[in-house]
Amino acid sequence: MARGKKIYEGKAKTLYEGPEPGTIIQYFKDDATAFNAVKKDTLDGKGALNNLLCEHFMLGLNTIGLPTHFIRRLNVREQLVHKVEIVPLEIIVRNVAAGSFSKMFNIEEGTPLPRPIVEFCLKDDSLGDPLVSEEHILAMNWASSNEIDDMREIALRVNDFLAGLMYGIGIKLVDFKIEVGRQFEDDLQRLILADEISPDSCRLWDVETNQKLDKDVFRRDLGSLTDAYSEVARRLGILPKNGGSTGPKLVE
Ligand code: TMP
Ligand code: ASP
């Protein structure tokens, strides 16, 4: 499908104008960054894996009735999505202490939390995506009170779906980040899940061994990131059981 004009280039994805008004083509790059792009690399195969994994999660969420921006995967690296106005917040759900939560509260990584915790961070790389309160969100007009309720509901529905899906393949969903966008249809406006869900934006640990199968492999130099993502894809049945980063390559 012919791509339109480049609209936005992020760290892991590029957005192009889609073929019809109200659509966008989301292109998954092989670039990996961490710590606000202080650490960077290009990892052959990462974009294709994230495109496939994201498609799988978005299709599943659409099936259970959660509205998402996903329309269809176009090819190895691209998917067609609805255009939305992104809410400038990163919504994080945590089931198990890890990462910045463990640091902030000095709680050992791996400690189960008594209930899922929803956090909001301002989506602003120049500020390092700081954690913000509901008070901040309302006062600064980043989202309305109804939208905060909707964001929480969407985040917890995604958590229930993803945690169950992952448990079924022997993986613990430790935490994840999502973004939502405003979709305008006639006079109606609603929030839908946007951006991506992939091992770039989740923490996924093997249930038995706690082996990390997510971007922490890259952040913490724990081995091959694409091997870890391939393992998730194999367990989900998206890649053949004997396939992997050393197997046949996906052709662009
Ligand atoms: P954190 O523990 O570093 O705050 O990360 C929480 C979750 O959010 C984790 O699953 C990784 C994800 N995440 C992103 O998707 N993008 C980011 O920029 C950061 C910092 C975290
Ligand atoms: N997404 C951020 C970056 O690209 C941080 C992270 O995921 O660790 O640098």
Q: Is the CB of 36 under 6 A from ligand 2?
A: yes
If DSSP codes are grouped into helix, strand and coil, which group holds residue 219? helix
Q: Which residues contact 202 (CB under 8 A, 6 or more apart)?
A: 162, 173, 174, 175, 176, 177, 214
- Domain of residue 238, CATH code: 3.30.200.20
Atom 17, ligand 1: which residue's CA is nearest? 201
In a domain, 122, yes or no: yes
Do 70 and 102 belong to one domain?
A: no
In a domain, 199, yes or no: yes
| pLDDT value at residue 1 | 64
185 CA → ligand 2 middle, Å: 33
Full domain range(s) for residue 169: 86-206
Number of domains in the chain: 2
Q: Atom of ligand 1 at shortest distance to CA of 215?
A: 11
- Rounded CA gap, 227 and 50, in Å? 12
Do 114 and 187 belong to one domain?
A: yes
- Tokens 């989740």 -> residue: 202
125 CA → ligand 2 middle, Å: 9
For residue range 108-120, list pLDDT tens digits in order.
999 999 999 999 9
For residue range 135-185, list pLDDT tens digits in order.
999 999 999 999 999 999 999 999 999 999 999 999 999 999 999 999 998
Q: Within 10 Å of residue 239's Cβ, how many Cβ atoms? A: 21
For residue range 73-114, list pLDDT tens digits in order.
999 999 999 999 999 999 999 999 999 999 999 999 999 999
Do 75 and 179 belong to one domain?
A: no
Question: Which pTM value belongs to this model?
Answer: 0.95
**Mutate which of 125, 177, 178, 179 for ligand 1 pocket (most atoms within 8 A of beta carbon):** 177
For residue range 192-217, list pLDDT tens digits in order.
999 999 999 999 999 999 999 999 99
Contact 176, 158 (CB under 8 A): yes
- Rounded CA gap, 156 and 229, in Å? 24
- Domain of residue 100, CATH code: 3.30.470.20
**Mutate which of 92, 180, 216 for ligand 1 pocket (most atoms within 8 A of beta carbon):** 92
